[in-house]
Structure 1
Amino acid sequence: MTEYSHISVLRDEAVAALEPVDGGVYLDGTFGGGGYSRVVLERAACCLYAIDRDPDAVARGRDLAGAYPGRFEIMQGRISELSVLLAARAVVALDGAVFDLGLSSYQIDDPARGFSFRQDGPLDMRMGGEGRDAATLVNLCAESELADIFFKYGEEKAARRVARAIVERRKTQKFTTTADLAGVIRSVVRPDKSGIDPATRSFQALRIAVNEELSDIEAALEQAAALLRPGGRLVVVSFHSLEDRIVKHFFAGCAGRLPAASRHDPAGLVPVAAPRFKLVTKSPILPSAAEIGSNPRARSAKLRTMERLAA
């Protein structure tokens, strides 16, 4: 597979923020369509490791490895396993790491993967093909658990109505397809002024729950930051508020930018450690109007960067 049709959001901005140099060792934590990896390898004579839990993405990565022998390796696994995956290859430090937290176009546009309701497909949503799929959650979770998923991971205000409608429908017929589920959601959630399909937030919530995405992000940020050499950069592109909130809070903590503890809080008596990082982007970098025009999926993206300070 040599055709890389996936459009990597903020690709040039992300690679520029990473600042790859000859002889450096880098990580692309979310290979996807390979857009970031290809540009990093073109930009510098460096060594790049990439991770993806999707077997199809790993297959694409092996094709790219053939174009850069000895400089690129793709590893199948979760980003929360990055330190173990790298250690198995004797990599104990990085000069930079980049994460594109969004789904790839390959995943969204393939009806068989079940990520989107734009085309009907099986209710799956598993990035790696293992574990519980979305149909299992929708058909077996208690109403209260479903409501929590829709509210917590989709920020869906009508979470209880959606959960109730799903539970009532599944009493007579189980859910198996994306179009079926989307139709039930639309029957109880009215369109709003944003123009977003009423099923969007609930589908996002199920995808996050199925893949345990937020806990993976938290673990990956911790591990990648710990591996950075002085001057090394951590670059993250997020696509919705839940992801960006995690990244923003983590970066602020590493840079010593979190609010100080109250003088009435005993934690305020503990000496504050010197910051380990500095923020390269005080405010997130957003896609240009031209990029959004050519790739509407870029509209919600935010890029944040921090750099490891000298020891």
Structure 2
Amino acid sequence: MRQQKESRRFGARAAVLLLGLTAAAVVVPASPASAAVPGLVRVTTTSATNSNDFHTTTATCPAGKVLTGTGYELNGATGEAVVDDLRPNGGPAVAPTAVTVTAYEADAYAGSWSVTAYAICANPVAGLVRVSATSVNNSNDFRSITAACPAGKVLTGTGYELNGVTGEAVVDDFRPNGGAAAAPTSVNVGAYEADVTGLNWDATAFAICANPLPGLVRISALSASNSADFRGITATCPAGKVLTGAGYEVDGATGEAVVDDFRPNGGAATAPTSDTVGAYEEDAFAGNWFATSYAVCATA
């Protein structure tokens, strides 16, 4: 909190005494806490709405801003489409500035639908880069791969890409590490085949990483566990923090549930502070399952 200096008037004698004081007696106002990610906003773009099998769209940060996190939303498909790619641009020495979302129908679907991409953007962040790691490529039912930030950096946001399955696999785990008192430094992507396929495929995890940020933590929230068709859960940053990125996890469904919504709040002039995860069963599933929403949060 900024300290306020009280203004006083001094007489001539007092002024002479004041000039004789040492520098150690001078009171200096405390500096306010610095925002970890100044200029934070959420940018949105949506694909065409139709009954095509494939939809894609790219959300790009405003000029002068960089991408700290990602999100998406499937509109109108309610479990009948899956996001195959949530791909930030950038690289190991280049700050990301945009995210591309690609989605396929999981089964033939006659209805019209679309996909929305969300980009969480901020003024330039020191040391911001995008790193990636790719799993083995084969026809196994399950993939797991972790992208870890370079030494000395922390995780602000996440992304993934499924290669070779075009709607036949779903991301079950999209989990940043860290905790309520620990900054995340990596993201794990776990994916299952939604239906049996003989295709060879692999998964790529993307980590958006930066130099350490004030107050960075990972918050989580769990939905109810039951056999209902839909789950919705929101993870909210603690007071005084803002959302730089997010993740999710589906437990108990092993490829039978699709995360339809991975939606940060906020807007073009408003910093996001929470992330909502919504998941549907892709096929009828009798077992109990639940969803977890993860929020990566830093000092506002």
The answer to whether TM tops 0.5 is no
Taking structure 1 as the reference length, what is the TM-score of the superposition?
A: 0.25
Bigger Rg, which one: 2
Q: Please report the TM-score for the alignment, with normalisation by the length of structure 2.
A: 0.26
Larger helix percent = 1
Which structure has more strand as a fraction of its residues? 2
